[in-house]
């Protein structure tokens, strides 16, 4: 029962964030919304497939999202972040609704997370059989870091026009 409520609340939150996506008008709010969507989508994938694929997908997606977020912030650096009161009211209302799903009114206490069966903690990624996979992923990420530093060191992201 608890797993069903947890899954339904995640689906509800993802749909809610997708509905709010067109209302985001600054790069900061858009990046935060996409970050939450990525996290919850990978959480749904992790609950469905029970593998390391969702963790790797999350890391790759967040890496690309960080590069795009920095680029957009550099191009549009003069936006001022002003939170909308209506949006905050809707967000707090939806969040309180999701949290109320986990409250057991008959026993008058919170449902403990100890009852979850099959929850992946990620400990299987650090086993000795998967050590070569982790080392190879770390080497690939390090090579990508060196390539990005080399490419960005040769030219600027945005050229400034000076009056000289």
* Per-residue confidence (pLDDT) for residue 1, from 0 to 100: 58
- With tokens 């530093």, the residue in question is 149
Per-residue pLDDT of the chain (164 residues; tens, 9 = 90+): 566 767 777 777 788 777 777 777 777 777 778 888 888 887 777 777 666 777 787 888 888 878 877 777 677 666 666 666 766 777 777 767 666 665 544 444 444 444 444 444 555 556 666 677 677 777 887 887 787 777 766 666 555 555 54
The verdict on residue 162 lying in a domain is no
Residue 35 belongs to a domain: yes
- The domain in which residue 139 lies consists of 121-155
pTM for the model: 0.47
Q: What is the pLDDT of residue 125?
A: 54
Q: Does residue 125 lie within any of the structural domains? A: yes
At 110 the three-state DSSP class reads strand
Residues 78 and 151 in one domain: no
DSSP string of 11-33, one letter each residue: HHHHHHHHHHGGG--SHHHHHHH
Same domain, 8 and 85: yes
SS3 letters across the chain: CHHHHHHHHHHHHHHHHHHHHHHCCCHHHHHHHHHHHHHHHHHHHHHHHCCCHHHHHHHHHHHHHHHHHHHHHHHCCCCCCCCCHHHHHHHHHHHHHHHHHCEECCCCEECCHHHCCCCCCCHHHHCHHHHHHHHHHHHHHHHHHHHHHHHHHHCCCCCCCCCC
pLDDT, position 50: 63
Let me know whether 82 and 24 are in one domain.
yes
**Greatest extent of the chain over all pairs of C-alpha atoms, in Å:** 75
Residue 60 pLDDT: 84
99 and 80 housed in the same domain: yes
Q: Indicate the number of domains in the chain.
A: 2
My answer on whether 107 and 139 are in the same domain is no
């Amino acid at each position: 029962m608890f797993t069903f409520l947890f899954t339904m609340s995640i689906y509800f939150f993802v749909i809610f964030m997708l509905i709010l996506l067109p209302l985001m008008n600054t790069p900061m709010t858009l990046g935060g919304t996409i970050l939450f969507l990525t996290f919850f989508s990978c959480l749904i994938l992790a609950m469905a497939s029970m593998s390391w694929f969702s963790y790797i997908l999350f890391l790759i997606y967040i890496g690309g999202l960080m590069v795009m977020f920095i680029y957009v912030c550099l191009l549009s650096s003069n936006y001022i972040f002003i939170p909308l009161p209506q949006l905050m009211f809707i967000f707090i209302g939806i969040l309180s609704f999701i949290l109320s799903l986990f409250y057991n009114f008959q026993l008058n206490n919170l449902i403990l997370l100890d009852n979850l069966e099959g929850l992946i903690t990620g400990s299987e990624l650090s086993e000795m059989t998967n050590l070569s996979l982790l080392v190879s992923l770390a080497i690939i990420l390090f090579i990508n870091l060196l390539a990005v530093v080399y490419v960005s060191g040769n030219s600027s992201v945005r050229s400034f026009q000076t009056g000289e």
